[in-house]
Structure 1
Amino acid sequence: MTLLRLSPLALSRSRFALSPLAETLGTLIELGKPQPDPSFAAWHARHHPVFTAAIATDPFARGLVRLLSSTKWLPEHVVLPPLDGMRTTLGPELARVAAFSDQRVRAQLEQSVAHSWQRHDLSWLAGTGWAVRTAELLRAVWVGHVEPDWPRRRAVLERDVTYRAGLLAAYGWPGALRQMSRRSTWVGADAIRFSNQSFPDRVVGDEGMLFVPVSVSSGTWLCEGPSGQYAQVYPARGFATLSAVRPPRALARLLGPGRAAVLHELAVPATTSELAAQLSQSVGTIGGHLAVLREADLVAGTRVGRRVVYRRTELGELLVGERAD
């Protein structure tokens, strides 16, 4: 069992953050899997052939993708804690990736091989500048497979942060972390169990822990930086929305397509502005739909700070045909 230990000061300073690097790494890992998570099957079918063709002539890229997609030890140069909170951008993150020495990259990749469930060798690790080549590969994945859908993905991530911020205000960090990961749970008053594997415990620095949602992964991983900087990456609620499943036709005929779309989208609680961005509608239009759904007792709103977060009621869940989480 691996624990992350937090002092009272570190606990008080822990917060949420976004990381385009983590989102891109999660995307690369999913694209490297021959059999994707069922939640991403449709998305994988669209993107996997293009991705496979792009790396077909590059042994370094093929070897790295295969290794990252089949190991429990992600190398440190691709799992760095974000430095700018919710405003983190990809450029500075990739610059940090590219700054690692070949010696450190090789040492970490050897650890990845040792913790893989497949057989690997590092014969593809030829030449020099491996960290720079890794950053170039990640940038290509971002441009080809993440950036076009980033506004929708970011909306999913921000909705998850809003939801967990509400839990944090009401129940503290144990409530906010509940169901964040199958392997992570709060232990006592000052520690998070991160993994069932036996690694040395980590001590989180006084700047606190970062919690980073990603929209294209069903797994979780730990990012470690200098001086006790740690971030836990976890799958956001509603991460499977990349498949863009439409509401059932019967529901659309009953409520109208606009209100049906709002009710269907509230599988993950959201604010009016988040729904507007997700559905490409005006805030006024979404507000009108929500008013009707509230009157019908299909949705309810809860104030979280200055925001009102809407969720489906039990009746709304029954109408959609889904069980409340």
Structure 2
Amino acid sequence: MVLLRLSPMALSRSRFALSPLAETLGSMIVLGKPCSDPWLARWHGRHHPAFAATLDTDPFAKGLVTLFGSTKWLPEFVAMPPSGGMRTTLTSELEKVARVPDEEVRAGLAKSVSHSWKRHDLSWLDGHEWGARTADLLRRVWDTHISPDWPRRRALLERDVTYRAGLLAAYGWPRALAHMSRRSAWVGTDAIRFGNRPGPDRVVGDEGMLFVPVSVASGTWLCAAPPDKYAQVYPARGYAATTDRSRPHHALEQLIGTGRAAILRALEHPATSSELAAHLNRSLGTIGGHLGVLRDADLIAGTRVGRRVVYRRTESGDLLAGQRES
């Protein structure tokens, strides 16, 4: 198994980040396959036909998507750590992808083929400027299938970061990383186990490790940039809950009102008032008023984390919200 070893300096500087590139890559892989996740069925059904039609007219794009969806190794020219923290832009990331020389692209794809559970060849790798062509494909996927939904997705990702940052402040990195990935775990006091494949240990540089949530991928992958920069991409908590809104919750709504019921359900995962406003598409003032009533009723509680107040359900709130599941 691969261990990512962190010095005390690297540990203190590790942090969370967002990557529109990782979000696009994960979404592209999901769109390239039949839908296996019920909570993605609606989005997949809307976008898959157009995406499949695009692949049918572009052998290069189809080869990339098919390979990325059937390998345990995503090449480093697309799996790179974001450089802008929580403000990373897709344009800045795709500029780096576009500059990757052809020989590096081919080497990365060949390694992906060697780690695939399907048979592949690279006969579709014709012409040149493969980095630029990959960046163009990712841009088209973003513009067509992700950008309209990005504000909601970003709010979801920020909620996950807020939740884990609270765990980090209270309990340290091992608790913050718990359940981030089925194959990743904290080992001892200075290392993270990544995956179960054999390989040499890697040493994280003094800038620290990045942890990057994405909203649609069910898997996780490691991003690397020479000589010692690493980021772990992982599925954010709560995506299924935010996309499956088909079940009725009339009893809870009749009891405490539609707006407050929506907030209580949304606080299945702790969030700030701003995150709730973005998630529920309500004004900050409306959210604040409802939060005050719910807090006075001892259904939620707020905890200050830095400059933000993170709200969570109390035991009474959990009990009340849980009654709607019966």
Q: TM-score, length-normalised on structure 2? A: 0.95
**1:100–1:148 CA distance, 2 compared to 1 (3 A):** same
CA distance in 2, matches of 1:100, 1:129: 8
CA distance in 1, matches of 2:96, 2:304: 39
CA distance in 2, matches of 1:177, 1:278: 24
The alpha carbon displacement at 1:278 in A equals 1.2
1:142 and 2:177 correspond:
no
Q: Where does residue 297 of structure 1 map in the other structure?
A: 298
Deviation digits for residues 209-233 of structure 1 (CA, Å, limit 9, x no counterpart): 1111111112111000122010111
Any idea what SS the aligned residue of 2:74 has?
A: coil
Deviation digits for residues 104-124 of structure 1 (CA, Å, limit 9, x no counterpart): 111111111121122222221
CA distance in 1, matches of 2:240, 2:77: 27
Deviation digits for residues 80-100 of structure 1 (CA, Å, limit 9, x no counterpart): 101111111011100111111
Which runs of no fewer than 5 residues in structure 1 stay unpaired? none
**Higher alpha-carbon deviation: 179-188 or 312-321:** 312-321
Deviation digits for residues 46-79 of structure 1 (CA, Å, limit 9, x no counterpart): 1111211222200111111111111111011110
Q: Where does residue 259 of structure 2 map in the other structure?
A: 258
Q: Where does residue 226 of structure 1 map in the other structure?
A: 226
1:103 and 2:103 correspond:
yes
Q: Where does residue 202 of structure 1 map in the other structure?
A: 202
Q: Is the 8 A contact 1:36 1:44 kept in 2?
A: no
Q: Where does residue 216 of structure 2 map in the other structure?
A: 216
The alpha carbon displacement at 1:320 in A equals 2.6
Q: Is the 8 A contact 1:205 1:229 kept in 2?
A: yes
Q: Where does residue 63 of structure 2 map in the other structure?
A: 63
Q: Where does residue 321 of structure 1 map in the other structure?
A: 322
CA distance in 1, matches of 2:90, 2:240: 22
CA distance in 2, matches of 1:317, 1:70: 40
After superposition, where does 1:157-196 map in structure 2 within 5 Å? 157-196=157-196
Q: Is the 8 A contact 1:40 1:242 kept in 2?
A: no
Q: Where does residue 236 of structure 2 map in the other structure?
A: 236
Any idea what SS the aligned residue of 1:303 has?
A: strand
Structure 2 residue identity aligned to 1:51: F
Q: Where does residue 276 of structure 1 map in the other structure?
A: 277
The alpha carbon displacement at 1:42 in A equals 1.8
CA distance in 2, matches of 1:173, 1:273: 25
1:17 and 2:17 correspond:
yes
After superposition, where does 1:124-143 map in structure 2 within 5 Å? 124-143=124-143
CA distance in 2, matches of 1:281, 1:199: 49
Which runs of no fewer than 5 residues in structure 2 stay unpaired? none
Q: Is the 8 A contact 2:39 2:244 kept in 1?
A: no
Q: Is the 8 A contact 1:22 1:79 kept in 2?
A: yes
Q: Where does residue 288 of structure 1 map in the other structure?
A: 289
CA distance in 2, matches of 1:73, 1:38: 26
Q: Where does residue 51 of structure 2 map in the other structure?
A: 51
Structure 1 residue identity aligned to 2:12: S
**Higher alpha-carbon deviation: 298-307 or 7-16:** 298-307
**1:11–1:199 CA distance, 2 compared to 1 (3 A):** same
CA distance in 1, matches of 2:237, 2:281: 20
CA distance in 2, matches of 1:213, 1:35: 21
Structure 1 residue identity aligned to 2:294: L
Q: TM-score, length-normalised on structure 1? A: 0.95
Q: Is the 8 A contact 1:215 1:240 kept in 2?
A: no
1:86 and 2:86 correspond:
yes
RMSD between superposed Cα atoms in Å: 1.8
The alpha carbon displacement at 1:206 in A equals 1.0
Equivalent pairs counted in the alignment come to 324
Any idea what SS the aligned residue of 1:321 has?
A: helix
Any idea what SS the aligned residue of 1:233 has?
A: strand
Q: Is the 8 A contact 1:82 1:88 kept in 2?
A: yes
Q: Is the 8 A contact 2:35 2:44 kept in 1?
A: no
Any idea what SS the aligned residue of 1:116 has?
A: coil
State the 4+ residue runs in structure 1 displaced beyond 6 angstroms: none
The alpha carbon displacement at 1:244 in A equals 5.2
Any idea what SS the aligned residue of 1:77 has?
A: coil
Q: Is the 8 A contact 1:214 1:239 kept in 2?
A: no
